[in-house]
Amino acid sequence: MAAQRKTFPRLFLARPEPFRLNGDRVFLRPAERADYEEWANLRALSRDFLTPWEPTWPADALGRTNFRARIARYAEDWRTDQGYNFFIFRSDAMLAGGVGLSNVRRGVAETASLGYWIGTPFARQGYMTSALPLVLDFAFERLRLHRVEAACLPTNVPSRALLMRTGFQQEGYARHYLLIDGKWRDHLLFAILKSDWRR
């Protein structure tokens, strides 16, 4: 007599918890499809605040199809060790912004580029200051990177102050470095090494 296979109702199958980086004021996790409404609303509310510092938004920037493609690209980047993107949530689980490591280079470089954005209602309240150390711990301890780079427009005084406060050092000035809001713009270049990092 064949052994009976024990089955459980779908209700009792545990769903794995999403990967999280936990801090005192914020937690970070990869974006999910269910985040679309909150993300779209926050980005729409923050559009005037964000567009001077970001690449030109496409016509469907806030569309659901665009968001799903973004989530798929994030997952593929994570799977192939090319990038690691997170949404930033306050401790009450309200979406506040995003932060990520992109263009991961292995081998003789062991480097990635840092990018981030914060929604207008949460700007200059210390949420990004709380989020960046979580990402740097992840970069240096889990990914075992040697160096994390960042860049900001010379006129973006809050972003420059954030990087300096987090431990980045300014290393250079790049002319026409990135296409921001439809124009090639100069950027200040920053970096932090694993040996510099003290949580």
Band (pLDDT 50/70/90 cuts) for residue 64 is: very high
Q: What is the mean pLDDT of the chain?
A: 92
Helix (H, G, I), strand (E, B) or coil at 1: coil
81 and 112 Cβ atoms separated by less than 8 Å: no
- Cα angle 55, 56, 60 (rounded to 5 degrees) comes to 120
Q: What is the mean pLDDT of residues 105-121?
A: 97
CA 60 – CA 156 distance, rounded (Å): 26
Q: What is the mean pLDDT of residues 164-190?
A: 96
Question: Tell me: the pLDDT tens digits for 149-169?
Answer: 999 999 999 999 999 999 999
The pLDDT of residue 10: 46
Percentage of residues of the chain with pLDDT beyond 70: 90
Q: What is the mean pLDDT of residues 55-76?
A: 95
44 and 62 Cβ atoms separated by less than 8 Å: yes
Place of tokens 């996790």: 29
Question: Rounded to a whole number, what is the largest CA-CA distance in the chain?
Answer: 77
What architecture does CATH give domain 21-151?
Answer: 3-Layer(aba) Sandwich (3.40)
Rg of the chain, C-alpha, whole Å: 19
pTM of the model: 0.88
